[in-house]
Amino acid sequence: MKTAPNLFFSSLCSMFNKLQQKWNVSSGQLFLILCTFAVTGTTTAYISRVATSWVGFDETTFWAWKLALRLSILIFGYQIIILIVSFFFGQFRFFWNYEKKILRRVGLIPKEPIRLAIFASGKGSNAEKIIQYLENHPVVSVSLVLCNRSGAGVLDIAARYGIKTVLISKPQFDNSNEYIQVLKNEGITHIVLAGFLWKIPENLVKAYNNKIVNIHPALLPAYGGKGMYGEKVHQAVINAGEKKSGITIHLVDEHYDNGKRLFQATVEVLSTDNPDTLAEKIHALEHAHYPKVIAEWLKVK
């Protein structure tokens, strides 16, 4: 049985682990970030307390003026103080990005462009729907298509829309940072897998932590995992006599078809269905939802 201090310690550790993953930082950097928050909090609280006397407020001053001054320092002064403090902890860049997010959210600076890379292995019908949906979008653009099969339909689609393509090879993909560098050079911010059949290596998952989305042609966690793609999934669903199948859109982590699920939709499997007819129904569902779910995920809908 866990004692109270043990329980407290393990939940604290798990909270730190979650923060580390969310911010994609080392444990040393997480420590410096937390120090920045702590020092900023106490400094701001202190300044907000003494500032009333600095500006000459006393007990005769109307209480609402004092409250307004303290709140402005706590809300707005905090944002400036945190940047100053972060500088001394060597975390200015992290906090400047954090401040930019707030300024963007309140509309004080324009949204940063989102540049998508689509990874696909085959026909590319999903890729095409996504490209069409985001064409002329003010913030998002499909900037690169990466494919592992020469002659795949998705390469023609990319060419038709004037999108740059990269043909990738397995050894480099699995064992080097070559394609991460390509993505970074193109300013890619997010990755969309649209019928991409290779497992995403750990270095790429880390470089684009929570920024890779995948579509799977079944209702995960069923009918997922290694070797489960395209027609094989539909055949397995039919063989098992399932009455329904569907699609799952999820974030990508180091394991096959395992990341956080963002969306599912279902379709009926009829006794007359074969893998081709089921694939057709699944494709229709994918085309109707994937582009919209991507836009929602990117918060640009």
Which residues contribute to the site for ligand GAR (CB under 6 A)? 120, 122-127, 194-195, 215-217, 229-230, 233, 282-283, 286
* Residue 24 backbone class (left: φ over 0; alpha: ψ -120 to 50; beta: rest): left
* CA pair distance 105, 284, nearest whole angstrom: 34
Residue (74 or 265) nearer to ligand GAR, CB: 265
- Catalytic sites, residue numbers: 216
Please give the DSSP secondary-structure letter assigned to residue 201.
P
* CA pair distance 95, 225, nearest whole angstrom: 38
Residue (178 or 231) nearer to ligand GAR, CB: 231
Smallest distance from the beta carbon of 289 to ligand GAR, in angstroms?
11
Q: Which residues is 165 bridged to in the sheet?
A: 145
Tokens of 285: 């569902």
Tokens of 191: 């990755």
Query: CB-side exposure of 142: number of CA atoms within 13 Å?
Result: 30
Smallest distance from the beta carbon of 170 to ligand GAR, in angstroms?
17
Tokens of 237: 């669903």
Residue (41 or 275) nearer to ligand GAR, CB: 275
Smallest distance from the beta carbon of 1 to ligand GAR, in angstroms?
43
Residue (155 or 233) nearer to ligand GAR, CB: 233
Amino acid at 95: F
Smallest distance from the beta carbon of 85 to ligand GAR, in angstroms?
46
Residue (69 or 282) nearer to ligand GAR, CB: 282
| Alpha carbon of residue 242 to chain centroid | 32
* CA pair distance 42, 37, nearest whole angstrom: 9
b/e per residue 81-102 (b: at least 16 CB within 10 A): bbbebbeebebbebbeebbeee
Smallest distance from the beta carbon of 156 to ligand GAR, in angstroms?
12
Please give the DSSP secondary-structure letter assigned to residue 260.
-
Among all residues, whose Cβ is closest to ligand GAR?
A: 195
* CA pair distance 63, 243, nearest whole angstrom: 67
